[in-house]
Structure 1
Amino acid sequence: MPPKPSMKYKKLSFIVQNLFVRYPRNMGETIRETSNICLNCRNWISSSIASYCQICGECIKSKTNSFLDNSSLGKNNWWIWIVFTVIFIVVWQVIGSLPLVGFCRLLKTGTVAGYSCSLDELVITGASKAPNFLLMHITFVIGAASFYFFLKILHNKNLLKVLTERIRFDYKRSLFALSIFFLFAIIPLTATLLTNSSELKLRGDITDLLLITLIALIFVPIQASLEEAFFRGYLLQGFSLLFKSRVLILIITSSIFACLHLMNPEPWSYGVGTYLISVFLVGMFMGLITLIDGGIELAAGIHIANNLWVHLIVGLEDSVIPSSSLFITTNQNLDMVPTIISSMSQYALLTVVFAFRYKWFSKLKKYPTL
């Protein structure tokens, strides 16, 4: 029989095998913080969706939902959540709007190069909507920077763990969701145009549209992703520390999402009740697919696609961020029942598509508590 390896040999073998393994800074961190490494046997997990270590059988992911489990990482004192939320909103909405306010103050003496601005409404008007469109989106860039900075400073959280349960952000998921949304939106638009409906009016300002398109392709993903990171990432995980019911945290975060949209001009132009219900349903749908899929990638893709569609294809007369969309809707009244039925049907169809694409049914069968 071959001689048994000595303890010294075992230690040397362990060191060599784990030489290139990235150990967590704090061994007290949960295994979810380094979900690509088994903290029991130090084996490198080959799959980012593996539930158990192939070597020792240690559970790598929670059987409930590791995306929500990520909320336990970092500092989670109750006052930190409140301080972060207040500081983030102030920096995002107040400090973030300073470039727009400053530009409006430059124009307060009169019209400059054909542009003027009202300090009451903070909307720059002139030959092109591009300056106003750009400055309003700078707000979200400042907000995104503050979100990342204060998340690290106050919570000591990894941004990735707030966004997804995967070991890296899955951009392919976002692109797939964006593509599917545009496909579903183009079909009814084509039907409306073929019926010669008077609901849509062609703007025809192609030059300004092209300029805004360039700006939108850069800044709209930042804007939409920031909102998803806050509502479907930060707040979902935060309320999961208080409540065990996923239905309840979906209702709470969706209600906050809907109420904050009351600051926009759209609800006061198209009906507060219908608008609030529509935004609430959007929030519920986004939150649902985030919980099932384990990340905000799909929700971010849909949010980006929706905002690009409104800014570039079919816009509203009274919009919080005016743009030069190709078409503008002339329908000023939104009927509640048809709007709800249409929204629910679209969300159900999208859910089915995502479920088959990412095998949600097998995931729910394996983890019925999701």
Structure 2
Amino acid sequence: MFIEKARLKKPNFLPYIILPILFLVFVLINYVFSAGVDTNAMIQTYITQFGKTPTFVMLMFPLCVGFVFMIVYIQFLQQLGITRATTSRDKIDWKRIFFSFFLWSSFTIVTTVLAYYSEPKEFILNFSWNKFLPFALIALVLVPMQTSFEEYLFRSQIMQGLGILSKTRWVPFVVSSVLFGLMHIANPEVGEMGYFVLIYYIGTGFFLGILTLMDEGLELALGFHAANNLVGALLVTTNWSALQTESVFISKALPSASTDVLIPVFIIFPILLILFSKVYKWNNWKEKLFGKLEISLNNDNNSHF
């Protein structure tokens, strides 16, 4: 079991709260200081001064540093080990990561191309090899680091720590999902669409939490999250989103409550869950999402880190 496997020599909650507390304090401070500030206007100023790709690097850099620190912390300070922080399996299942990545990448590409050909007036063709290629190479490195940091923070550290503390599955499932959504509260999309868009972010948190608990590991969530941010950054951007990049297209469409919030959360994500459940033969949903945990006190001296 994914949460149970994360126990240390004793089921101690403290090693799991250091990084989450530091990060959530950082998010809170950032939100307080950004209150009343037009985040999109600030990003536009950076883009005017430095360009899209340097601005992209500046926005991604803190989370990428967080990812490096996260790996060092898990491996050497917490001594949990990357494998046990990632999966209940004996080793990380890279096939699961790539399957999830290519599934969501394919869906995103196909739907974007269909949208372009059905409503070409809503898009600007922005492609330029001189700008796209350097950006793509940078994004291929930085985006998986950024998304992996968020997955290890919310679906590993917070989920496993709260599971050990509460001895339940539903507490870490709900809390980590809601916190994941609220982390995005300072995004320009919130300023553009209002707090209604948090339904999408929190809904995505629940979707990723279900993937993690039902599949007993982070692999599917890691692949989906990386595909969502990377392919999105490479393929299409807007003038009001958090990541404004040297993408292939620029969308002129105004944000839509149904297209951008309701359809993904209440239609697409459930379909994906059904698909994953068929591929990986998930069962016992109620127990895996809301059941109690039995955290033993035995030492795990033979475990490999």
Q: TM-score range by the shorter chain?
A: 0.7 to 0.9
> What is the number of residues matched between the two proteins?
277
Deviation by residue 1:73-123 (Cα, 9 ceiling, x = unmatched): 2465444443333345679999xxxxxxxxxxxxxxxxxxxxxxx999883
Q: Partners of 2:191 and 2:43 in 1: how far apart?
A: 17
Do structure 1's residue 132 and structure 2's residue 49 form an aligned pair?
A: no
Q: Partners of 1:313 and 1:259 in 2: how far apart?
A: 26
Match of 1:134, SS? Answer: helix
Q: Partners of 1:120 and 1:187 in 2: how far apart?
A: 29
Which of the two has higher C-alpha Rg? 1
Shift of 1:313: 0.5
Q: Partners of 2:43 and 2:59 in 1: how far apart?
A: 15
Choose which of 238, 249, 254 in structure 1 pairs with 2:172. 249
Do structure 1's residue 291 and structure 2's residue 189 form an aligned pair?
A: no
Q: Partners of 1:184 and 1:334 in 2: how far apart?
A: 19
Q: What residue ranges of structure 1 are gaps of 5+ in the alignment?
A: 1-65, 95-117
Query: With structure 2 as the length reference, what TM-score do the two structures score?
Result: 0.79
Choose which of 166, 169, 179 in structure 1 pairs with 2:102. 179
Q: Partners of 2:224 and 2:185 in 1: how far apart?
A: 21
Contact 2:189 2:240 in 1 (8 A): yes
Shift of 1:299: 0.6
Contact 2:16 2:157 in 1 (8 A): no
Shift of 1:301: 0.6
Q: Partners of 1:119 and 1:281 in 2: how far apart?
A: 27
Amino acid at match of 2:135: I
Contact 2:192 2:240 in 1 (8 A): yes
Choose which of 101, 106, 118 in structure 2 pairs with 1:195. 118
Deviation by residue 1:23-44 (Cα, 9 ceiling, x = unmatched): xxxxxxxxxxxxxxxxxxxxxx
Match of 2:241, SS? Answer: coil
Distance 1:234 1:127, change over 3 A: closer
Shift of 1:148: 2.3
Do structure 1's residue 314 and structure 2's residue 236 form an aligned pair?
A: yes
Greater mean deviation of Cα atoms: 78-87 or 213-222? 78-87
Deviation by residue 1:115-153 (Cα, 9 ceiling, x = unmatched): xxx999883545742222234333233111211233345
Question: With CA pairs under 8 Å and 6+ residues apart, which has the higher RCO, 1 or 2?
Answer: 2
Choose which of 151, 155, 158 in structure 2 pairs with 1:228. 151
Amino acid at match of 2:268: Q
Do structure 1's residue 347 and structure 2's residue 269 form an aligned pair?
A: yes
Do structure 1's residue 369 and structure 2's residue 292 form an aligned pair?
A: no
Higher-helix-fraction structure: 2
Aligned pairs (5 A) from 1:234-273: 234-273=157-196
Choose which of 85, 97, 101 in structure 1 pairs with 2:20. 85
Shift of 1:320: 2.4
Amino acid at match of 2:66: G
Deviation by residue 1:164-220 (Cα, 9 ceiling, x = unmatched): 111221121111111111222233223222223433222234421121111111121
The match for 2:254 is 332
Contact 1:258 1:279 in 2 (8 A): yes
Do structure 1's residue 148 and structure 2's residue 71 form an aligned pair?
A: yes
Query: With structure 1 as the length reference, what TM-score do the two structures score?
Result: 0.67
